[in-house]
Structure 1
Amino acid sequence: MYKVILFMKIKAWFMLLGTTGLAQALVQGLGLISGILVIRVLPTEEYALYTLANTMLGSMVLLANGGISKGVMAQGSKVWKDKEKLGEVMVTGFDLRKKFIVASLIVGVPILAFLLLKNNASILVTILIIIALIPAFISSLSNSLIVIVPQLHQDIIPLQKNQIGVNLGRLLMLGVLIFFFPLAFVAVFSAGIPQIIGNLRLRKIVSMHVNLNHSPSKEISKKILKTVKRIFPEAVYYSFSSQITIWLLSIFGTTTSIAQIGALNRIAVLLTLITMVFNIVIAPRFARLIDSFQLLIKRYSTVLFGLIILLIIIVFTTYVFSTQILFILGSKYANLEREIVLLILGSSLSLIAGLVYNMYSSRGWIQHPILAISMSLITLILGISLIDISNLVGVLKLNILVGTSQLLTHGIFGYYKIFQLKNR
């Protein structure tokens, strides 16, 4: 009887992961086609500016989120079956997010303007890129909160249909515009509008599970802000350090090296398939587990071990098929065989570190920001002092060192929090 139940559970998990994985593969496939289209059509100089804009977009989203989505997930996971209470949590999260948007724009826009101008963008082009970035910025932030409800309810199919629609819309919009206007700001603008439409559709899905006709709750706000206060210093640091390779090349490197790492990162974007499947299926389920040492240590170890095996497979596959992978990017980037292996290794390490962090923070477990930032800073300073960061290979080696440090830090902290339960 036990074997039958175990077999049914394993079968159910494979079917869930398989279905989710196939849908996310389609999402990432559409995203990859859009990315390759941009790489092949934009001149090297324009693609370098596009890379800087996209990088700053990611940093600004991290900064503006500031841990709000983690706080909302932690509070929402406690009341996810109650339509009214979950709605109150969501409304409070939306209210807090508005305040963080302004701060992020104030910090991010001047830095982006400086980097664009430093890399030979005109004042007009700089202004156009910044204007084009705002819709993508706001829609990305909204999406990070809205998806929490269908994730908690494991309402996966409607969520994935919406993601497919957004990516298909982005590809169609790019296809129409970029051939006539091969400019960085057009490519940036084409990413934001489909996401705004997708968010409107997501709200209809959310309305089936929650009642959003609430006023923000001061009590819930305090609880979310408690999580934010622990995460925010680290979010500020990681909003820029997570893209350290591009920041360093934008200051010490060349426009060509920025375009090269931007192109390679387009291949690495496929790794977000793992992130999306993980955040849809694994993290919410881990958040809902009871505080049992035996249960949590088993699930945490299984997931961590599985992710490490996956990393090895990904890096080995990249090494074997590096020439074929680079063929996708076009002749301008065909000689980067060593670089793509180094980039995928560093990206995979950082990816797994981020997934482990998402898993334990979904339960409201937040390590002290001073510890996390100190470990990362020490690694970064040590790496910069030992590695030549004026070229692409050196920067990619630094990225591997930083990713290894992050994985060790987050992996150990997760075990630390679980072992605390053993003494209860």
Structure 2
Amino acid sequence: MKTETTTALPVSKYTKLLELGKLVTITGAAQLIIQLIGFVSAVIVIRLLPTQQYALYTLVNTMLGTMILLADGGISTGVMSQGGKVWQNRQKLGLVIATGLDLRRKFAVGSLLVAVPVLLYLLVHHGASWLMALLLTLALIPAFFSSLSSTLLEVAPKLTQDIAPLQKIQVHTNILRLILTSLTIFTFPWAYVAIFASGLPPVWANWQLRKKSATYADIDQSPDPVIRKDILTFVKRILPGAIYYCASGQITIWLISVFGSTTAVAQVGALGRLVMVLSVFNVLFSTLIAPRFARLPDSRNLLMGTYLKITFAMILALAVLLLFVWLFPAQILWALGPAYANLHTELFLNIAGSCLGLLAGSSFSLYTHRGWAIKPVILIPLSIAAIAVSAYFLDISTLQGILLLNICVAGFEAVMHMLFSVIMINKVSITN
């Protein structure tokens, strides 16, 4: 009996490790394919759109990200947190997701009312006619509305770790995006055509996700007032910070769009396409790591050990990436074409800021998935102070100055979120 007992535990750990390795391989391979297809689509757009049109394209996509964040307001994180408690019960998990979907539709109205006037102003400010600005705004509608439910429909497969179908849907979506972009932009090299073409495949993906989610959660239910109250309680704590991140997360684009030239906006947008490689880390994290962290029991030692391992692994991986960018800037910039070939320093600064932002976002994601949130009265003033101090010492009228500002702000936020994570884990009363 003693021999059987001593050999059973290692086998169990080996099985779990093998399962995790399989998921990482599937997700990583799929994401490499997805990012390669996405990068090809991005390069086609960068090379075929005139600089002024690509600047408008960059502004619209930046605002789309902001609109999605405003429409979410922490709802998806609240649903993941609540779903992590009932993920093995199809009925209860479906009720959580259905309630989240209802809330998101209501938040979407406010997002449109806030974001559309700002977008129209920025587009006209950078040379778009009112007709062009209107067409660009209408072109982002398909992608915006499909995003309202996509992240929530992924909650059930992520919690149950049924990852392969999610990756399959994403691969097919990006293939469709590449096909539509290629068929349209060669004939119609306008920003609104490229945006509309890239926004149609997510509509199909949304339909597929709804069918997959139904396997694990009955989402065809009426919203539950008790669950709505629980989610809104969390949203109220996180919403001010989410609104702030709408601005600070894209501070490079916002500042350069106000203080810089249209060419500088296009340059920032083109460099941003190269940051797509970080999406592999981001998707691996949000698909495999964050849901598992949300499911962990309230054990201080377990949570702290897991958090430190995750953070160290991310720092190591991002450091290797930065070294590669520092060694081969010319080869990387070649993909963007001759108009952007001289941005060696800007490339490194942009990737460095994005790496720090990803590190900050990972800690933020981990603790919010546990239902924790920094008080906005602490988060926002400190972050604004970091921006103000950095802007005082840097020349934000230049592209390099803007990118250095982004590094300072992202570095401050990374330290702040990591410290808060450690503090909250240490408050967990159970130690084993």
The reply to whether TM is greater than 0.5 is yes
After superposition, residues 210-229 of structure 1 pair within 5 angstroms as 210-229=217-236
Q: Is 2:343 aligned against 1:324?
A: no
Distance 2:83 2:181 in 1: 36
The alignment partner of 1:78 has SS state of: helix
Residues 352-405 of structure 1: per-residue CA shift (max 9 Å, x gap) = 111111111111111111211122111101111110000110000000001101
Quick check: 2:105–2:148 contact (8 Å CA) kept in 1?
no
Residues 336-360 of structure 1: per-residue CA shift (max 9 Å, x gap) = 0110000000001001111111111
| 1:30 positional shift | 1.1
Corresponding residue of 1:170: 177
Distance 1:390 1:206 in 2: 47
* Structure-2 change in CA distance of 1:88 and 1:11 (3 Å): closer
Residues 278-328 of structure 1: per-residue CA shift (max 9 Å, x gap) = 111000000000000111011000001111111211111111111110001
Residues 84-121 of structure 1: per-residue CA shift (max 9 Å, x gap) = 00111111001101110010000000000000000000
Q: Is 2:104 aligned against 1:100?
A: no
After superposition, residues 174-213 of structure 1 pair within 5 angstroms as 174-213=181-220
**Structure 2 residue identity aligned to 1:353:** A
Corresponding residue of 1:33: 40
Corresponding residue of 1:147: 154
Corresponding residue of 2:143: 136
Q: Is 2:88 aligned against 1:81?
A: yes
Distance 2:430 2:391 in 1: 41
| 1:124 positional shift | 0.7
Corresponding residue of 2:396: 389
Quick check: 1:36–1:329 contact (8 Å CA) kept in 2?
yes
Q: Is 2:276 aligned against 1:276?
A: no
| 1:139 positional shift | 1.1
Q: Is 2:91 aligned against 1:91?
A: no
| 1:143 positional shift | 1.1
Corresponding residue of 1:305: 312
**Structure 2 residue identity aligned to 1:114:** Y
Q: Is 2:254 aligned against 1:254?
A: no
Distance 2:404 2:348 in 1: 11
Corresponding residue of 2:378: 371
Corresponding residue of 1:414: 421
**Structure 1 residue identity aligned to 2:168:** K
The alignment partner of 2:200 has SS state of: helix
After superposition, residues 116-131 of structure 1 pair within 5 angstroms as 116-131=123-138
* Structure-2 change in CA distance of 1:74 and 1:33 (3 Å): same
Distance 1:135 1:3 in 2: 50
| 1:423 positional shift | 7.0
Corresponding residue of 2:4: none
Q: 1:347 aligns with which of 348, 354, 363?
A: 354
Quick check: 1:109–1:130 contact (8 Å CA) kept in 2?
yes
**Structure 2 residue identity aligned to 1:231:** I
The alignment partner of 1:266 has SS state of: helix
Distance 2:294 2:303 in 1: 10
Distance 2:211 2:11 in 1: 39
TM (normalized to structure 2)? 0.96
| 1:14 positional shift | 2.8
Quick check: 2:357–2:410 contact (8 Å CA) kept in 1?
yes
The alignment partner of 2:140 has SS state of: helix
After superposition, residues 15-26 of structure 1 pair within 5 angstroms as 15-26=22-33
* Structure-2 change in CA distance of 1:182 and 1:299 (3 Å): same
Distance 2:340 2:220 in 1: 52
Quick check: 2:299–2:430 contact (8 Å CA) kept in 1?
no
Corresponding residue of 1:293: 300
| 1:4 positional shift | 5.4
| 1:141 positional shift | 2.3
The more displaced of 186-195 and 3-12 is 3-12
Corresponding residue of 2:409: 402
Give the fraction of aligned pairs with identical amino acids, expressed as a percent.
Answer: 46
Quick check: 1:375–1:405 contact (8 Å CA) kept in 2?
no
**Structure 2 residue identity aligned to 1:328:** A
Quick check: 2:300–2:430 contact (8 Å CA) kept in 1?
no
Residues 49-70 of structure 1: per-residue CA shift (max 9 Å, x gap) = 0000000001111111000001
The more displaced of 88-97 and 132-141 is 132-141
Distance 2:120 2:151 in 1: 25
**Structure 1 residue identity aligned to 2:251:** I
The more displaced of 369-378 and 223-232 is 369-378
The more displaced of 205-214 and 402-411 is 205-214
Distance 1:318 1:334 in 2: 14
| 1:227 positional shift | 0.8
Quick check: 1:245–1:399 contact (8 Å CA) kept in 2?
yes
The alignment partner of 2:80 has SS state of: helix
